[in-house]
Each structure stands twice: as C-alpha cells, then as structure tokens.
C-alpha cells in the first residue's frame, strides 16, 4: 500500500491507482501459485498417449498462466508509475512548484 512518512495515505491524488495496483499484484501472486500447482501436476508419471496429451495440455496452460502473470505484473508496474506521477504532480502543485 502507498504510504507517507506519517502512515498510510488514506486519500489523495493517485490513491485509487495504488489500490488497483495492489489488487493486481495480489492477482499476479495467485496466478503464480496456480502456475506452480500446474507444474507439480505435470510431473505425474503416466506413460500412455492419454498421459502425454494430459501433460501437453498442462504445459500449454502453464505457459498461458506464465504469460498472464507477466502481463498482470506489467500492468501493476504501469499503474504504480502513474500513481507516483499523479502524486508527485499534486505535491508540486500544493507546494506551489511547477504551476
């Protein structure tokens, strides 16, 4: 969560972006956990065409989940930069700088 020296910033410019960024990071963590579960299932020793097809399907799901994790993380980082920028502009305007 975005904080100030005195504690959490409860309201202010950019705060809603920080909240969304935090939720996205939580989603990325859950996706990463699911990816780990898929990988652990993939190690099943099932030697048959059905087993091979099952493992291939799991591999594809794991790859998709990894890409999803990267996209969510990128979106969260972008929101963090936006929130920081909005907060910095508001702080500069409040102090009479740049406006």
Domains of the chain with bracketed CATH: 13-94 (1.10.287)
Interacting residues of 64 by C-beta distance below 8 A, sequence separation 6+: none
Q: What mean pLDDT do residues 61-87 have?
A: 94
Query: Per-residue pLDDT for 11 more than 90?
Result: no
Least confident of 8-12, 49-53, 62-66, 81-85: 8-12
> Measured in Å, how far apart are the chain's first and last C-alpha atoms?
28
Q: How many Cα atoms are found within 13 Å in the side-chain-facing hemisphere of 45?
A: 0
Q: How far apart are the C-alpha atoms of 93 and 99, rounded to whole Å?
A: 6
pLDDT at residue number 32: 95
């Amino acid at each position: 969560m975005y904080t100030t020296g005195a504690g959490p910033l409860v309201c202010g410019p950019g705060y809603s972006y920080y909240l969304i960024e935090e939720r996205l990071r939580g989603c990325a963590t859950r996706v990463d956990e699911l990816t780990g579960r898929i990988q652990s299932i993939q190690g099943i020793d099932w030697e048959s065409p059905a087993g091979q097809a099952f493992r291939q399907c799991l591999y594809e799901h794991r790859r998709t989940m990894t890409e999803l994790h990267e996209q969510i993380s990128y979106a969260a980082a972008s929101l963090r930069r936006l929130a920081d920028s909005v907060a910095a502009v508001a702080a500069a305007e409040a102090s009479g700088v740049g406006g």
